[in-house]
Amino acid sequence: MIRIKRQWFDLLKGEFDKDYFKNLQDFLRSEYTKYNIYPEEDKIFNALNHVPFDKIKVVIIGQDPYHEPNQAQGLSFSVPTEVTIPPSLVNIMQEIEKDLNITCKKDGNLERWANQGVLLLNTVLTVRKGQANSHKDKGWENLTRKIIELVGNREKPVVFLLWGSYAQSFANIIAPQHLVLKAPHPSPLSAYRGFFGCKHFSKCNQFLQELGETPIDWS
């Protein structure tokens, strides 16, 4: 069940040896046997497998995967190309277009961001079909907190985009050399409370350019 590239495996090996993770694996084996679970097992660690630890430029923290068929692909906010773009991602793209004065691709597959160094990390990496938060508090949060902690303590600066109070709860484990940008969640329920107009994407790219890094093509 741990299909993860060597660099990340080495960084997280200590977590994989802990009781909580062994219990999580037992739980997942049972769940994948009995129910429709998303994403597929080989995509659980997609976010990490797309971005080597030392290549991360930006971290976007989500909660749990989409829970309807054909949506989840192991990257927060992302859906496969042929799938209708979910409302939160529609709002993200709307803010990008206004902030950067560009036109986004009408494609919800964010592998194009991940391949540039954007870590699209949900804090819970699996979900039961049709049941949001069904794998909450089963152990994933321990592992993903460790991932955020590792990146947050990395010497080379990173941009953290923390949308919503849950994502913002991780701000206290992020070291001061990083840029932490906070806004309400892009969900239709909260985007109008300050996500629209936050200009996170231009601020992110300005920070990266000041570091001598290539900015992210958010289109």
Task: Please say whether the beta carbons of 75 and 47 come within 8 A.
Answer: yes
**How far, CA to CA in Å, does 106 sit from each of 87, 109, 139?**
13, 9, 35
Tell me the pLDDT of the chain (219 aa) as tens digits: 678 999 999 999 999 999 999 999 999 999 999 999 999 999 999 999 999 999 999 999 999 999 999 999 999 999 999 999 999 999 999 999 999 999 999 999 999 999 999 999 999 999 999 999 999 999 999 999 999 999 999 999 999 999 999 999 999 999 999 999 999 999 999 999 999 999 999 999 999 999 999 999 999
The rounded distance, in Å, linking the Cα atoms of 1 and 27 is 12
Query: Residue 23 has what DSSP assignment?
Result: H
Residues designated as active site: 64
**How far, CA to CA in Å, does 115 sit from each of 22, 56, 111, 163?**
30, 10, 6, 21
Rg (CA), the chain: 17
